[in-house]
């Protein structure tokens, strides 16, 4: 366990090897936390919450701002760590480093904005002599459980707002990508974060996750991952605040009047960034029949230019999927779609953990690819006649995080905005677009609450009312 950034004694039950999913080479080892380690971390977090809550706002701002600077100063180290232990190419990893620094900067700015308001008590007869206000207070101890696909920025999205709001936070990174989270914790310590406010515990979620989530001293759990584990978190957590981001099957609607060249570029980028292992991945292309043939040609051309290869090669566009099991599952999803009547438009091949960027044409709407999150470099194409049909198809799935529409008609665009069920609808932009200040989260089965620094910081506070009888 890395308790208080590895500075406290740990009673670990062994070591966990971190291996490159591309070639299986050993990247590093981390302690395999025991239940005793988790209990010690929870006890330390309670003390850390007291320290964090009393930390002046100017100190929180200074620490988070300095941490952002350190992330950029150590950008090469962070990018290499992201690429080696995870699934991103080195160019994708560098982009994530820049975003993480921005997330920390936004968190520093948000620390000064977490304030309350005065209340006019004389709105009620008999309360003319009362004055008061409400204010925000830290919620306490937050457990943050993060996935493998963004091992730096998604950690920053939970840790930065938690510190800005004056909380203690225990991070449980994905067991396949713990090293980058430790580097971030080190940067925050070097920026002056007092001991106990941030801890990173490493190990297998199946062994230690329930103890972390269920403990009554934990006041909030922030989880990013799959719906099955998310449902388990809900069952185990008990009475505490939850923030859950549980994935998506994002639709891109292309109407007959769309500008097809930029639409195809945005869709291909959104479908295959991080080898499709991205909750905002374009998975269903819902296209009106009048432009379907031309859009297919453009998507094939753009997909064919993508280079799959070693992650550290500057020329590589698409890296591997995270495991053999993931590759098996993704290819089984493609095979099922083809067996039900779909056809491979481009891609469809596998070499180890590398899956060629793939579009399945005539995607059967009953297939898993059309209804569930694939979390891989695969998308399907569904032809429709009308905008009514496009909206209906877009809304068929349970997970609804981001959706997008490509059109020149503002009226049609706004109809999609109103009628498509999603946490965000983007017009003439991929579902994969996000800035770190925007509210981020979905509806239906995509989760609970909102991330995005200003919104997460508020989720990580509670309000207190003060009334003065003068």
- Quick: pLDDT tens for 359-417: 999 999 999 999 999 999 999 999 999 999 999 999 999 999 999 999 999 999 999 99
Backbone phi and psi for residue 331, each to the nearest 5 degrees, phi listed first: -65, -35
Report if pTM > 0.85.
Answer: yes
**Is residue 245 flagged as an active site residue?**
yes
Please, are residues 96 and 149 in contact by the beta-carbon 8 Å criterion? Answer: no
Burial of 42 (0-12, 13-18, 19+ CB in 10 A): buried
pLDDT at position 31:
96
Give the percent of the chain with pLDDT over 70: 97
- In order, the DSSP letters of 190-203 are HTTPPTTSEEE--S
List, in order, residues 6 or more apart from 70 with CB less than 8 Å away: 187, 190, 191
* Given 279, 383, 451, 459, the catalytic residue: 279
236-282: pLDDT as tens digits: 999 999 999 999 999 999 999 999 999 999 999 999 999 999 999 99
Q: Residue 25 pLDDT > 90, yes or no?
A: yes
Q: Could you confirm whether 404 is annotated as catalytic?
A: no
Tens digit of pLDDT for each residue in 322-344? Answer: 999 999 999 999 999 999 999 99
Chain centroid to CA 13? 30
pLDDT at residue 13, rounded to an integer? 65
User: Could you tell me which residues come within 8 angstroms of residue 94 by beta carbon, excluding any fewer than 6 positions away?
Assistant: 75, 79
Q: Of the candidates 424, 420, 417, 419, which has an alpha carbon nearest to the alpha carbon of residue 452?
A: 424
Mean pLDDT of all residues in the chain?
Answer: 96
| Overall average pLDDT of the 220-230 stretch | 96
CA distance 285 to 262: 14
The answer to whether the beta carbons of residues 336 and 360 sit under 8 Å apart is no
- pLDDT exceeds 50 at position 9: no
Q: What tokens appear for 86 in the block?
A: 């995870």
Tens digit of each residue's pLDDT (9 = 90 or more) over 280-302: 999 999 999 999 999 999 999 99
Tell me what the mean pLDDT of segment 423-438 comes to. 97
Helix (H, G, I), strand (E, B) or coil at 248: coil
Instruction: Note whether 18 and 29 are within 8 A (CB).
Output: yes
**Tens digit of pLDDT for each residue in 337-367?**
999 999 999 999 999 999 999 999 999 999 9
Confidence check: pLDDT of 136 > 60:
yes
pLDDT at 12 over 70: no
Fold classification of 15-246+446-469 (topology level): Aldehyde Dehydrogenase; Chain A, domain 1 (3.40.605)
Report the pLDDT averaged over residues 438-462: 96
Per-residue pLDDT, averaged over 123-139, amounts to 97
Q: In degrees, to the nearest 5, what angle opens at C-alpha 136 toward C-alphas 135 and 140? A: 145
Q: Per CATH, which fold does 250-435 belong to? A: Aldehyde Dehydrogenase; Chain A, domain 2 (3.40.309)
- The runs of H, that is alpha helices, within 305-323 are none
| Rounded Cα–Cα distance for residues 141 and 421 (Å) | 33
pLDDT classification of 1: cutoffs 50, 70, 90: very low
Residue in 85, 102, 245, 373 annotated catalytic: 245
2 confidence band (pLDDT: 50, 70, 90): very low
Report whether pLDDT(140) > 70. yes
Which two three-digit tokens encode residue 199? 């801890």
pLDDT, position 5 = 40
Question: What contacts 389, CB < 8 A, 6 or more positions away?
Answer: none
The residue length of the chain stands at 470
pLDDT average, residue stretch 229-233:
95
Query: In the chain, what are the domain boundaries?
Result: 15-246+446-469, 250-435
Give the span between the Cα atoms of 109 and 99, in whole angstroms.
15
């Amino acid at each position: 366990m890395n308790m208080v950034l590895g500075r406290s004694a740990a009673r670990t039950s062994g070591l966990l090897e971190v291996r490159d999913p591309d070639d299986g080479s050993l990247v590093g080892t981390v302690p395999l936390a025991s239940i005793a380690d988790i209990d010690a971390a929870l006890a330390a977090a309670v003390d850390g919450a007291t320290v964090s809550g009393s930390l002046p706002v100017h100190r929180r701002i200074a620490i988070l701002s300095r941490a952002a600077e350190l992330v950029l100063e150590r950008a090469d180290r962070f990018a290499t760590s992201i690429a080696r232990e995870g699934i991103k190419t080195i160019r994708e990893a560098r982009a994530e480093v820049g975003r993480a620094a921005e997330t920390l900067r936004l968190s520093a700015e948000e620390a000064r904005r977490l304030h309350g308001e005065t209340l006019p008590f004389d709105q009620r007869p008999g309360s003319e002599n009362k004055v008061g206000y409400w204010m925000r207070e830290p919620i306490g101890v937050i457990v943050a459980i993060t996935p493998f696909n963004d091992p730096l920025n998604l950690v920053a999205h939970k840790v930065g707002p938690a510190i800005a709001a004056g909380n203690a936070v225990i991070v449980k990174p994905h067991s396949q990508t713990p090293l980058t989270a430790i580097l971030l914790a080190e940067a925050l310590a070097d920026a002056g974060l007092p001991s106990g406010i941030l801890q990173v515990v490493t190990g297998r979620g199946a062994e230690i996750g329930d103890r972390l989530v269920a403990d009554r001293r934990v006041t909030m759990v922030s989880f990013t991952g799959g719906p099955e584990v998310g449902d388990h978190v809900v069952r185990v957590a008990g009475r505490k605040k939850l923030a859950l981001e549980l994935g998506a099957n994002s639709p891109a609607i292309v109407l007959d009047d769309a500008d097809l060249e930029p639409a195809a570029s945005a869709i291909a980028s959104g479908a295959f960034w991080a080898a499709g292992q991205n909750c905002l991945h374009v998975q269903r292309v819902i296209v009106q029949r009048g432009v379907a043939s031309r859009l297919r040609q453009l998507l094939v051309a753009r997909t064919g230019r993508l280079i799959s290869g070693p992650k550290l090669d500057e020329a590589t566009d698409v890296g591997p999927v995270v495991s053999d099991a993931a590759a098996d599952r993704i290819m089984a999803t493609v095979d099922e779609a083809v067996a039900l009547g779909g056809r491979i438009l481009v891609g469809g091949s596998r070499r180890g953990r590398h899956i060629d960027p793939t579009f399945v044409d005539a995607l059967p709407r009953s297939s898993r690819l059309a209804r569930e999150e694939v979390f891989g470099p695969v998308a399907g194409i569904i032809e429709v006649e009308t905008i009514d049909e496009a909206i209906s198809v877009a809304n068929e799935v349970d997970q609804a995080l981001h959706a997008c529409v490509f059109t020149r008609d503002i009226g049609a665009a706004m109809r999609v905005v109103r009628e498509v069920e999603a946490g965000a609808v983007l017009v003439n932009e991929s579902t994969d677009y996000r800035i770190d200040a925007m509210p981020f989260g979905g509806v239906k089965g995509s989760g609970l609450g909102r991330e995005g620094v200003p919104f997460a910081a508020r989720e990580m506070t509670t309000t207190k009312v003060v009334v003065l009888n003068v």
